[in-house]
Amino acid sequence: MVALLHYLTAIYIICILLATDVSATLKINEIYPAPESGEYEWVEVYNNEDKAIDITGDYITDDTSISSHKLKFDINEIPALGFVIATTSGSVLNNNDGDSAILRNGNGDIIESIAYSGSFNSEKSYIRCDDNWFISTIITKNTANDNACLALTPTPTLTPTPTITPTPEPTTTPKPTMTPTLSPSPTAKPTPTPKPSLTPTGKPTPSTITTVSTSAKYLITAATPAVLGAKTEKKDPPPLSKIFAAVAFIFSLLTIIAVFLKMKMKHEKNS
């Protein structure tokens, strides 16, 4: 049962790898919806991968279902970390109330969709700054938006920190020290020493001294302490099911690595 679970997991991972769409690395980077008379609308797309991507059949459309509302690319491959422009001679993108620029692949599947709003003219574009979008008066067609994004970020004004003036502590006036007046101690009278009286001494009574001799033997017994309740457990060898599950897991892992390497070699060969 465990081996079957590992096998199904390996198949699931392989399916995810095969279903990965490289076109997800394409990002809409800038939208120019309001050109001057005689110029064209355009949408800039950026490839954030370090390898070229085939964009044959890809196009830009708005949020309507009109088939003629398309901006097309004039090349079939976007270079690594490069830009590409989709344009049209017609009017697709709304420049007054807002619209959407939707990047689709040749099958019509949505790769990315960006909605915008506001009033635009030929001196404004809609740019991406990280994952946020802004209306900018710096148009950066076919280049990165770094300078335009920096111009949108205001420089913070530094507010000086007020200097704290310490409050002086009040001076304490010392209190006068009271010196006690010593009174003379009275002189004690001498106590008379009594004379010793002589007491007759009787005859000494002989004392009987009894000597007790005791001998004892001590027996020291050394014993190894035993822990009550302790049991010696016998370790059983691991069951065959665990060994079989480990072998199946290693086999699944090697299969995944082999498939991944084969896919990578095939992808590099196609690139």
β-partners of residue 102 are 61, 113
Q: Which domains does the chain have, with CATH numbers?
A: 23-152 (2.60.40)
| Residue 244: band (very low, low, confident or very high) from pLDDT cuts 50, 70, 90 | confident
Residues 6+ apart with CB under 8 A from 30: 43, 44, 125, 126, 127, 128, 139, 140, 141, 145
Q: Which of 59-63, 187-191, 258-262 bottoms out in mean pLDDT, i.e. has the lowest?
A: 187-191
Q: How many Å apart are CA 71 and CA 90, to the nearest integer?
A: 9
Q: How many Å apart are CA 92 and CA 70, to the nearest integer?
A: 7
Q: What are phi and psi of 91, to 5 degrees?
A: -110, 110
Q: Is 1 exposed, middle or buried (0-12, 13-18, 19+ CB in 10 A)?
A: exposed
Mean pLDDT across the stretch 254-270? 86
Mean pLDDT across the stretch 29-35? 95
Q: In a 3-state reduction of DSSP, which class is residue 252?
A: helix
Q: In a 3-state reduction of DSSP, which class is residue 7?
A: helix
Digit-coded pLDDT (tens) for 60-78: 999 887 777 899 999 999 9
pLDDT above 50: residue 20: no
| Residue 235: band (very low, low, confident or very high) from pLDDT cuts 50, 70, 90 | low
Q: How many Å apart are CA 257 and CA 116, to the nearest integer?
A: 43
In this prediction the pTM is 0.51
Mean pLDDT across the stretch 235-245? 77
State the CB neighbour count (10 A cutoff) for residue 23: 17
pLDDT of residue 113: 95
| Residue indicated by tokens 């949108």 | 152
β-partners of residue 88 are 41
pLDDT above 50: residue 98: yes
